[in-house]
A and B are shown apart, each in its own frame.
Chain A
Amino acid sequence: MTKMEKPANFSRRSFLKTGGALVVSIGMPIGAETLLSLNQAFAQATATRPPLVPNQLSSYVAINADGTVSAFFGKMDMGQGLYVSIGQMVAEELDVAFEKVTVYMADTRTSVNQGGASGSTGIQFGGKQMRAASAEARRVLVEMAAQRLNLPADQLTVTAGAVHAKADASKRATYAELIGGRHFNVELEWNKQMGNALYAPGKATPKDPKDYKIVGKPIRRADVAPKAFCTEPFVTDVKRPGMVHARMVRPPVAGASIVSIDESSIKGIPGARVVRENNFLAVVADKEWDVVKAMGALKVQWSDAKPPFINQAALYEHIRKTPARMREEGKTIGNVDEAFKSAARIVEAEYEWPFQSHACMGPACAVVEIAGNGHVTCWSGTQKPHFLRDGIARTLGVKQETVDCIWVVGPGSYGRNDADDCGNDCAVIAKAVGRPVRLMYTREQATAWDPKGPASIHRARAAIDANGQVVAYDFLSKGFSRIDVNTNGSQPRDTLAGHFRGVELRSGDNFGVPSESYAFPSKRMVWETIPPFLERASPLRSAHLRDPVGPQIHFASESFMDEVAFALGIDPIELRLRHVKDPRDVALLKAAAQKSGWETRPSPRKGQTGSTVSGRGIAYATRNGTRVAIVAEVDVDRTTGKIWARKFTVAHDCGQIINPDGLVHTIEGNIVQALSRTLWEEVKFDPRSVTSVDWQSYPILDMTEVPETIDCVLLNYPDRPPTGAGEGAMRPVAAAVANAVFDATGVRIRQMPFTPDRIRASIS
C-alpha cells in the first residue's frame, strides 16, 4: 500500500455549488470554487475545505448549497454501474432522495485513494466506507439541527434531506440550511490504511437494513445515454492546447536493445522526432497520422538478442519442470500423505491453462500535460488513477502532490491492463518534449505487450477408501506469478517505462489455490510460482487479469470434483453436497440445481447419437465472501468440434444486494467474458516474442456464439455485509463448461481453451 507522504494540496479541490442528476464526473475539473459566506455556527462545518486526507469526513461527502449531495469516491466503476450502488448507499444513510446524490470518482483531485477498481471490492470495501461516512454525516447534521432547533438529537429524524422533530415536522432545518455549500470538518477514525483496506468510520452506526428504502432497489444507470449519443468523451478524445501525438516503438525480439537509430528515416515527416532513454523509444509528431507514419518509417537497429522464450508447444512441460521460485502451502488438514498410502483408489488429473491477454477493445491511450509550474496532469483510462499518479510521480522524480490523475472512460479494463504502462510512458515523453502529449498504443502493442494473465498447470488428487468415501484431497497450482509485475502502476519497476529505461526490478510471487468450503478428512492446498522467461520488458510478463488466477484454479478444481463423482459413479451435485460445509454454499448449489431443472444422475449422459450431443455441468466457487454456482448447458458438434454454451443458470450470493438490476448485468458480463476465455483465448508466442497481435491471432467470442439464456438466481442476505460481484461469476464458468462437455461427449478435456480444433481432436 502507498502511504500518504503529506496531505494533498487541498486548495486544488474544487467544489460544486449545485448538484443535479446522478452522473459520473468525467474528465474535466469540477465546477468553480464557490464557498458561501454563511456564519460558522458549528465547529463541524467550515467555509474552507479541509485537507483531502482519509480521516476527514469532507473527503467523502459534501452537502451543496442547494441541498444536493456530492460523494467523492476513491474507487471506481469500470462500466458495471457501481456508481449507482454507491449513490444508493450514500442516499440511504443520509436520508436524501437518490436523485440528489452525485458520485464523483476516479479523480485524484477529489478523492482519497480507496484502491481504484480492485478485487471486486467497490461495494465490499469502497461502499462500506462511503456508507460509514454518510451515516456519520447524517449524525453530524442531526447534531447541528439539535443545536439550531434547541431540541435533543434523539427527538429528531430526517426526511428527504431535512432534519425535523419526530413529533412536529414543522420544526425543521434542511441540510442546505445547516451546512449547504460549506464543508464538513469532522475527524474520522482512520485505520491508517490506504487503498482497498482504507476504512475511516465516524461515531455513527449505519442504518439497520430492515429500514432500507433505497438500497436493494433496481435503479438504472445514467451513463448509457452519454455513450449512445456521444455527448461525453472517451480518454481517446481528450485534447489539450499544443498537444502532440506519440507512439511507442517496441523491439521485434523481446529483450533486444537499441544499437542505433537512423533519425533521417523520419526526416520527411512534419514535426517527427524521436524520444529515447536507454531502450525506451517513442516517436512524436504534431499530427496523429504523421506519428503513425513515423512509427512505421523509423529505422532502428536492434541487438541480436537470444530469443528469450520457448516453443509454445513446450509451455506446460516448462512449467512442470522448472523449479519453483516460491512455494506456499495453505492450511493443511490431517495427514494427506498417509491417507494416500492407505487409499483403496486414487483419482488424479492435471489441468493446463494458457497465458491470456486483457486484449481491450482499443489500445491504451493517455494524455499528459506538464504545466509551467511543473504540475503534471494525466488523463487515463486506468482503473487505478491514484496509483498511476504515484507511479508518474516516481517515474518523473517529482512529489506525489505535483501530479494528478483523472480517469476518463477508456476501452475497457479488466485488471492490470496496458493503461498504467501507457500513462507512465506518456509522462516520460511529455517531460522530454515539453508539450502536452497524447500517446496511444497500437493494436499489436495492446494484445502482444499488455501484462498477461499467467499460464499454469494444476494437479489434483483424491484418495478414496474401500467404502467409496473421499478421505484425502491434494491440490497444487504451479505457474507464472500473478504479480511478476504488480497489480498497479505505482512503481516504475512494474511499468514498461521503468523496464525499458532500466530501473531496478523486483518480480513478485503469488498464485493461489481453490476457494470453496469442501471438507475432507485430510486436505492440502499448495501453490508454486516459477520465474518469468524474461525478467525485463517481457511481453509475457504476468499480472492480474480479471478474477486473477480464479478461472485457472477453478477450471482445475471443479473439473476434478466431477472426475471424482465420475469415479464414484454419482451425480456431480450430490458429490458436492456431501462435502460442502458452509450452509450458504449448500443453499447456493441447491438453488442452481432447482432453477436449472437439474436431473440427478451421474455423468456422462447416455445414449446420445448423431452429430450434435448435449450435456450439462455444474461448478461452484467462492470469492472473498461471494459464492457462485453455475450450471452450463452445452451442445457439442462432434463433426466440427464447435461448442455452443446454450444456457447458463447462475446462483449468486454476494450477501446484501444493493442494486439487483446492476447485479444481473454484471453477472451476464462475467459469464460472457469468461466463456470467451474458455472457448477461444490463448496468447500465442514463439521463441522471439508474442505472436498474438490482433483479433485474428487472438480471437474472442462473437455474437453468434453467446448463450441464448443466462438465468440468474440472486440469493439476498440483507443482514449480511455486501461482498463483490465484479468477478465472482467468472470463476466457475470454464469448469461448468468442461463438465458439460464431458456430460455430452464422455470425454474429459483438461487443457484450455476449448477451441473447435482441440475439441475435435479430443473426441475423435
Chain B
Amino acid sequence: MAKYTLDVNGKPHAIDVDPDMPLLYALKNDIGLNNPQFGCGLAQCGACTVHLNGQPIRACVTPVSAVGDGKVVTLSGLGTPEKPHPLQTAYVEEQVTQCGYCINGFVMTAAAFLRDNKKPTDAQIKQALQGIKCRCGTHMNIFRAVKRAATMMG
C-alpha cells in the first residue's frame, strides 16, 4: 500500500492503495466517481478513457503509481450541464447513446483529438475513433455528434 494524492477533475484526492492498482479502480471505488467504466481491463475498448495531462489514456491498465501528480480529467470533469463541453452538447443534440457505456471512450478520445485537430476531415475523425468500441451500433450518431462538435470547436 502507498499513499497518493491524485488530482482528479481539479480536486486533490488522498488515497492509500496498492501502487499496481489501475487508476480506474481508484476513480470508481476510492474517489467514488460513476465514470469512466470498466469494459475489458485490456485497453481494447476505451470505456475507461480519461485524460492524463490532457492526453487520453486507458485507466484500466494505467497503475496509480504512474499517475504521479498528473492532472486527471474524466468525462464528468470535462464539462457540466451548466458549462458543457461541445462534445457533450453535441451528444445531446444528436441524441447519441443507446446503452451509453461507450460514452467515456468516444467523448474523451474525441475531445483531445478535436482540441489538437481543427477542421478535421471525415476520414481523420473516423481514424481517430477507430480504437473505441460501441457495441450497440450507434456509430452513425456518434460520428454526427463529433462532426457537430468539430464545427463548434473550429
Contact = CB atoms under 8 A, between A and B. Distances in A.
Contacts of A78: 98-99
A419 to B, nearest CB: 12
Given A668-B138, A669-B138, A700-B133, A233 B34 contact: yes
B90 to A, nearest CB: 9
A13 interface: no
Interface stretch (A222-230, A384-392, A620-628): A222-230
B57 interface: no
A764 interface: no
A237 B137 contact: no
Interface residues of B, number: 57
A670 B33 CA distance: 32
A225 B97 contact: no
A414 B132 CA distance: 19
A375 interface: no
Given A227-B97, A228-B107, A704-B130, A672 B37 contact: no
Interface centre among B18, B42, B100, B140 (most CB of A within 10 A): B100
Nearest to B88: A228
A696 interface: yes
B130 A668 contact: no
A696 B131 CA distance: 11
B39 interface: yes
Contacts of A760: none
Contacts of A230: 33-35, 74-76
A438 B143 CA distance: 34
Contacts of A79: 97-100, 136
A288 B29 contact: yes
Contacts of A360: 99, 101, 135
**Main secondary structure on A side of the interface with B:** loop
A661 interface: yes
A673 interface: yes
Contact of B45 (A227, A668, A673, A695): A695
A412 interface: yes
B136 to A, nearest CB: 5
A224 B92 contact: yes
B41 A442 contact: yes
B133 A361 contact: yes
A221 B97 CA distance: 10
B28 interface: yes
A361 B29 contact: no
A289 B22 CA distance: 8
Interface in A217-274: 220-221, 223-225, 227-234, 236-237, 239
Contacts of A292: 25
Contacts of A701: 137, 139
Contact of A361 (B33, B42, B47, B139): B47
B34 A234 contact: yes
Contact of B140 (A410, A443, A668, A674): A668
Main secondary structure of the interface of B (DSSP, over half): loop
Interface in A281-295: 287-289, 292
Given A289-B21, A703-B142, A443 B39 contact: yes
Contacts of B96: 224, 228
Interface in A415-447: 440, 442-443
A78 B80 CA distance: 25
Interface string A689-710: 0000011100011111011001
Nearest to B146: A703
B102 A361 contact: yes
A112 to B, nearest CB: 25
B100 A227 contact: yes
Contacts of B28: 236-237, 288
Contact of A673 (B25, B80, B135): B135
Contact of A411 (B32, B92, B95, B99): B99
Contacts of B40: 362, 443, 694-695
A78 B28 CA distance: 24
Given A237-B28, A361-B102, A443-B40, A672 B127 contact: no
B44 interface: yes
A741 B139 CA distance: 23
B119 to A, nearest CB: 19
B115 interface: no
A672 B139 contact: yes
19 contacts: A227-B103, A229-B80, A289-B25, A359-B135, A363-B38, A409-B100, A440-B38, A443-B42, A665-B95, A668-B140, A669-B136, A673-B135, A675-B137, A694-B40, A695-B40, A696-B44, A700-B133, A702-B133, A704-B126
Given A230-B76, A234-B101, A411-B99, 4 more contacts: A224-B91, A411-B101, A676-B137, A704-B130
Interface of B: 17-18, 21-22, 25, 28-29, 32-35, 37-42, 44-45, 47, 74-76, 79-81, 84, 88, 91-92, 95-103, 107, 126-127, 129-143
What are the nearest 8 A-B pairs in CB distance?
Answer: A672-B137, A673-B137, A79-B98, A227-B100, A412-B99, A237-B34, A230-B76, A411-B101
